[in-house]
Structure 1
Amino acid sequence: MNDILPIILAILAALVVIGGLIPVLLKTRRNITKYPGTRDANDPVEPVPGGGGTLVEDRPAVIPGRQAPGEAGLEGLETAEVPDDAAGLETIAVETPLPVAGRLTRLRERLVRSNNILGKGLLALLSSDKIDEDVWDEVEETLLLADLGTEPTMQLVDALRERVKVLGTRTPEQVKALLREELIKLVDPTMDRSLRTERHADKPSVMMVVGVNGVGKTTTVGKLARVLVAEDKDVLLGAADTFRAAAAEQLATWGQRVGVPTVKSDVDGADPASVAYEAVKAGIDQEVDVVMIDTAGRLQNKVGLMDELGKVKRVIEKLAEVDEVLLVLDATTGQNGLNQARVFSEVVNITGIVLTKLDGTAKGGIVVAIQKTLGVPVKLIGLGEGADDLAPFDAEGFVDALLN
């Protein structure tokens, strides 16, 4: 009997351990079955097991007049589990984004009210009784301080010199008119600043948003989702920033505020390319108009991270063409922002720039400098922290705001 007792106890202990593992194994099996794994840029289209983590979708709120998630076909995605005490949690209210048309007007008014030295400084200098070499030196310095860049500065100064010489007398109205014309030429109203958000025949438009840490990239994705919802687009967000712990939850919250679903990973440090792939796949399956992929805030001097950004794009392109790659830049960073833009353009084909913090209008010349450097238009600008403080960039409106 004494010999049998240890055996019985060992069997009982094993049964307890196995009983505890069964629910975990079942849950893991369910997750792997729904989202089988990671895809590398060179892998076949068929998924391979492991590595990417389980992807979940925050169930979106329903906007009045829009389809409920089930009606739109979103029931195919696994929904995040709701904790037992969820009744005590705060519910995120669904908001109605402001119409896009009114945003540029409001932002222009804010730009006019701000203390900008670019337009006002130039007007004061060019309205001087006598414009000598000292004045032209000050004009040049003002433009350089506004981050216009050396080449555009020389171009503008040469054009102003010639026109002032021909003009002779200079009333304030004349000075303002010629300055407006020359600044508009530099900002270039002929560039195509439209966003490619039209759904293709059988696939959504796909947009990647890239940029370094701290420029407001995830916030920009959320604000742009509001812009698209205001234009009556069906949008799906992909949280491929898997390195910053709060990024996915932050993005999901932005989406919930306007009834937009978010595909994200429930595993810290999951493969960003896998998350992006699953988001685009879900967008195709659910026939949405636009899929927006938020990527990690990559430092331009981290070669491995930049290579991974290229990988994310290549993996997405196994499913659908990437229609837009928007680079988010802080307008106040000056030359550093230009360096960032150059490096990102070497890794992915940048199609447009989003300039945040443009209310620091002493740096308004960065618009010209970036466009000259990359040959890529500024498509969106942000002025402020409000949810609807993102608007399409308009060359003439921008210049008029600087000069008023």
Structure 2
Amino acid sequence: MLKFWKKKPAEPAATPEAPPLDERVEQAAVPVTFDSSPVTAEALAETAPPEPEAPELEAEAEATVVAAEAQAAQPVKRSWRERLSGSGFAKSLSSLFVRNPRLDDDLLDELETALITADVGVEASTTLVEDLRKRMHKREFADASALLKALREQLVTLLKPVEQPLDVSTHTPFVVLTVGINGVGKTTTIGKLARRFSDEGRSVMLAAGDTFRAAAVEQLKTWGDRNQVPVVSQGQDADAASVIFDALQAARSRGTRVLIADTAGRLHTQGGLMDELGKIGRVMKKLDPGAPHEVLMVIDGTTGQNAISQVRQFRDTAGVTGLVVTKLDGTAKGGVMFALAREFGLPIRYVGLGETATDLRVFDAEAFVDGLLPASLGG
């Protein structure tokens, strides 16, 4: 199977120092330098030699082999239960019902402890368990299985309002600005999103706005190469607002459907860096008053209750409109999903259930809860 690689461009001549950002805002025709650009079908047609016509049966056999190889290369997409059943939260709930299937106050006391330990939150856990206790005393539950079913319904009810998938079809380009603290998997999440949108047939561009962390730009370029999408960058220590402005200008001129902008990880207590997010937003609005169309905050699912204060600060400073919660497959703190839903009501767009691109899933409240609870008291 032939692969076409982009020809390495010649060494560019020295260019004069770029004008200030405000001047470039007013100059709509300013050229943007890309680290990579898509190879058009016309270019390939001009450079590729014509292939001899193969017999029909041989071509059909070759296509079958290629399809089989492509299918084999795809990672196996495991179910939510398979991904979540090994988490500490799921294990504690499963162990609780299997070990103590009797319908009594002891079961509910242990359930409340399990929920609080998993960072559902004291108030939410107490409210949920006390409601179940009242119903149990009214003899609404015939056995522990009935209580388990009621618990499922309550947990789904907590999460259902924040089950709001991201719709990127409302603007072109649709600008996604990703934010979060250090080490939450922000750049990796961007790469997985690029893969998802590309698989949906949408053109994607990435903006390397994390100019602070060493190797962050190169990491994003690697994801760009892997997904065959262009990346706009200016190197480490460049002005992040300038990089993202250039990327938005380029995406508009090319008709790109989705622009995903990376930003430097920062603690919610770092006032100067938090203010930079506001500057990025103001600069984008000079080209598109509606940009960014989504401010997507990436949260580490192992963070627990600390995620509450993080989201509160980023929401107030950067105007967060959606959440991505990563690393839920191995954490004992998965209950923070319920705490976030109860505290903020912000849409949970995606959750990370593993390392592969297919493990970034559109959030599904029922599938998530079912992955945490035992299928039955028989296991």
Specify whether residues 179 and 121 from structure 1 end up closer, same or farther in structure 2 by C-alpha distance, changes over 3 A only. farther
Residue 225 of structure 1 aligns with an amino acid whose one-letter code is A
Specify whether residues 96 and 231 from structure 1 end up closer, same or farther in structure 2 by C-alpha distance, changes over 3 A only. farther
Structure 2 CA distance for aligned equivalents of residues 145 and 259 of structure 1: 43
Structure 1 partner of 2:314: 344
Structure 2 partner of 1:38: 21
Superposed CA RMSD: 3.0
Structure 2 partner of 1:255: 224
**Please, which moves more after superposition, 142-151 or 269-278?**
142-151
Structure 2 partner of 1:112: 85
Structure 2 partner of 1:215: 184
Structure 1 partner of 2:356: 386
Structure 1 CA distance for aligned equivalents of residues 35 and 372 of structure 2: 42
Structure 2 CA distance for aligned equivalents of residues 374 and 259 of structure 1: 36
Structure 1 partner of 2:167: 196
Matches within 5 A, 1:236-315: 236-266=205-235, 268-315=236-283
Query: Which residue of 13, 16, 28 corresponds with 2:15?
Result: 28
Structure 2 partner of 1:13: none
CA contact (8 A) 1:97 1:388 kept: no
TM-score, with length taken from structure 1: 0.75
Residue 161 of structure 2 aligns with an amino acid whose one-letter code is T
Specify whether residues 60 and 44 from structure 1 end up closer, same or farther in structure 2 by C-alpha distance, changes over 3 A only. closer
Q: CA deviation at 1:97?
A: 11
Structure 2 partner of 1:6: none
Structure 2 CA distance for aligned equivalents of residues 386 and 125 of structure 1: 34
TM-score, with length taken from structure 2: 0.79
* Overall identity of the aligned pairs, in %: 44
Matches within 5 A, 1:218-229: 218-229=187-198
Structure 2 partner of 1:86: none
Residue 337 of structure 1 aligns with an amino acid whose one-letter code is A
1:137 aligns to 2:106 (yes or no): no
Q: CA deviation at 1:387?
A: 3.2
Structure 2 CA distance for aligned equivalents of residues 225 and 179 of structure 1: 36
CA contact (8 A) 1:61 1:256 kept: no
Structure having the higher Rg: 1
Structure 2 partner of 1:234: 203
SS of structure 1 residue aligned to 2:21: coil
CA contact (8 A) 1:97 1:258 kept: no
Structure 2 CA distance for aligned equivalents of residues 337 and 252 of structure 1: 29
**Please, which moves more after superposition, 106-115 or 244-253?**
106-115
Structure 2 CA distance for aligned equivalents of residues 120 and 171 of structure 1: 16
Q: CA deviation at 1:292?
A: 0.5
Residue 117 of structure 1 aligns with an amino acid whose one-letter code is K
CA contact (8 A) 1:241 1:272 kept: yes
Show structure 1 runs of 5+ residues with no match.
Answer: 1-23, 49-53, 72-94
CA contact (8 A) 1:207 1:293 kept: yes
Aligned residue pairs: how many? 334
SS of structure 1 residue aligned to 2:350: strand
Structure 1 CA distance for aligned equivalents of residues 81 and 259 of structure 2: 29
SS of structure 1 residue aligned to 2:207: strand
CA contact (8 A) 2:208 2:243 kept: yes
Specify whether residues 128 and 269 from structure 1 end up closer, same or farther in structure 2 by C-alpha distance, changes over 3 A only. same
CA contact (8 A) 1:60 1:259 kept: no
Residue 110 of structure 2 aligns with an amino acid whose one-letter code is E
CA contact (8 A) 1:55 1:275 kept: no
Q: CA deviation at 1:112?
A: 2.8
Structure 2 CA distance for aligned equivalents of residues 97 and 45 of structure 1: 46
User: CA deviation digits over 1:49-73, x for unaligned, max 9?
Assistant: xxxxx964232566xxxx55979xx
Show structure 2 runs of 5+ residues with no match.
Answer: 1-10, 45-68, 375-379
